Amino acid sequence: MMNTDVFFYLIQVFIGITLIASAIVAIRFRNLIAAVIAMAVFSLALSLEFFILQAPDVAIAEAGVGAGLTTAMYLLAIRNTTDEEEVAE
Amino acid sequence: MTTVIIRTMTRILTPAILVFGSYIILHGHLTPGGGFQGGAVFASGLALLIIAFSRKRVKEMFEKVPLSVFESIGALGFLGIGLMGIVMYTFLRNFIANSGAPFGMPTPEGINPGFLNTGGTLPYLNIFVGLKVLAGLTSIVLILFLILRREENE
Amino acid sequence: MRKLLGIIALTVFSIILFLTAVHLRSFGSPPHAEMDKYFIEHAQKEASANNVVTSVVFDYRGFDTLGEATVLFTAVSGVLMALRHYGGRKK
């Protein structure tokens, strides 16, 4: 019992770090495709967190919509326009 | 446009994703998930198919698929089952449960392994909502893709 | 006049929100749970499904799901309407 508690605690700490890091990376990246991949990583970590908090319905919805479909839509939208973000000087 | 690696992996992965999405939709009354989640998984498989192949292949793949008809069938089926519930008692009443019709067997109380032939109106509503969600999300991705490749060809 | 009305509205809404905040339960204690108990006890018999979440979403609160489906339909038709201009130019 104790071991699983410590295990889940450690996983949650890891997921929190991943969430914050991928969010910062998604904002800071100049290359928009890399930023979109960082957002997919964010959604995947969020769905893992939902699963650990015992909400598998929300986890499936988050993984399907957030990591799958939104990434595809963003990639198509980026390829419709341009790869690089313009630097505002 | 895309590489051989992506196309090969898509050919291997897409059937598995589509089967998993159908499983989530059909077993919505037994396992976690349901119409919306299964439809989203199914649509992400189709989005993978759309992204990996060229405009010509995608066009000949999706020309025969009436996505708007699927969407309309989903919405009208949901409303129809809700209105059939009005005849019995209230809107969206579960009138098939425990009646012996398809999906209408009673489920045993307490912990049980889960039987597919239970749930009343829930499996029907799951299928209709899943059809609607997969048609809607796929048509969004498809129209974004068709714009992109049209301007590249010109 | 408008400033007076604004002050009155601000006061009334602040009082209402403050009263609501005072009567909230303390952090971490569960909210009122009569409906939860009803769902957990009766869902297997009434909806004859093992998954209580699905029986809430599609049976007890089915009207809400109908609204969600309508939202999705509106989003799709909005996208198609906004982008039809580009798609229809060549066809």
Q: For C41-72, how does the pLDDT look when each residue is reduced to its tens digit (9 = 90+)?
A: 888 888 888 888 888 888 888 888 889 889 98
Mean of all residue pLDDT scores within chain B? 86
- Gyration radius (Cα) of chain A, Å: 16
CA B79 to chain CA centroid, Å, is 17
Q: Which residues of A touch B37 (CB under 8 A)?
A: 57, 60-61, 64
Q: B71 in helix, strand or coil?
A: helix
Q: What is the per-residue pLDDT across B27-78, written as a single tens digit (0 to 9) for each?
A: 988 888 888 999 999 999 999 998 888 888 888 888 888 888 999 999 999 9
Q: Which residues of B touch C50 (CB under 8 A)?
A: 29-30, 107, 112, 114, 118
Q: Which residues of C touch B29 (CB under 8 A)?
A: 49-51, 54-55
Q: What is the per-residue pLDDT across B10-33, written as a single tens digit (0 to 9) for each?
A: 999 999 999 999 999 999 888 888
Cα(B113)–Cα(A32) distance, rounded to whole angstroms?
47
Q: Give the residue-averaged pLDDT of A7-21.
A: 92
> What integer pLDDT is reported at residue C89 of this predicted model?
46
Q: Give the residue-averaged pLDDT of B107-115.
A: 83
Residues ≥6 apart with Cβ < 8 Å to B82? B91, B92, C62, C66
Q: Is A51 exposed, middle or buried (0-12, 13-18, 19+ CB in 10 A)?
A: middle
The residue of chain B with its CA nearest to that of C78 is B140
pLDDT-derived band at A25 (thresholds 50, 70, 90) equals very high
Residue B147 confidence (pLDDT) above 50: yes
Residue C41, both tokens: 């006890």
Chain B touched by A73 (CB under 8 Å) = yes
Question: Where do the domains of chain B lie?
Answer: 4-153
> What integer pLDDT is reported at residue A59 of this predicted model?
93
H or E stretch including B78?
Answer: helix B67-88
Q: Largest alpha-carbon pair distance within chain A?
A: 56
pLDDT-derived band at B152 (thresholds 50, 70, 90) equals low
Q: Cβ separation of A69 and B34 shorter than 8 Å?
A: no
Residue C6, both tokens: 């604004």
> Nearest Cα to B36, choosing from B52, B22, B44, B25?
B25
Q: What is the per-residue pLDDT across A38-84, written as a single tens digit (0 to 9) for each?
A: 999 999 999 999 999 889 999 999 998 988 899 998 988 888 776 66
Cα(A66)–Cα(B43) distance, rounded to whole angstroms?
12
Q: Cβ separation of A68 and B144 shorter than 8 Å?
A: no
> What integer pLDDT is reported at residue B153 of this predicted model?
53
Between C33 and C81, the higher pLDDT residue: C81
Q: B31 in helix, strand or coil?
A: coil
Looking at this predicted complex, what is its ipTM? 0.82
Q: Cβ separation of B144 and A56 shorter than 8 Å?
A: no
pLDDT-derived band at C90 (thresholds 50, 70, 90) equals very low
Between C86 and B94, the higher pLDDT residue: B94
CA B27 to chain CA centroid, Å, is 12
> What integer pLDDT is reported at residue C45 of this predicted model?
83
> What integer pLDDT is reported at residue C29 of this predicted model?
74
Between B123 and A83, the higher pLDDT residue: B123
> What integer pLDDT is reported at residue B2 of this predicted model?
77
Question: Where do the domains of chain A lie?
Answer: 2-80
Q: Cβ separation of A69 and B47 shorter than 8 Å?
A: yes
> What integer pLDDT is reported at residue C91 of this predicted model?
38
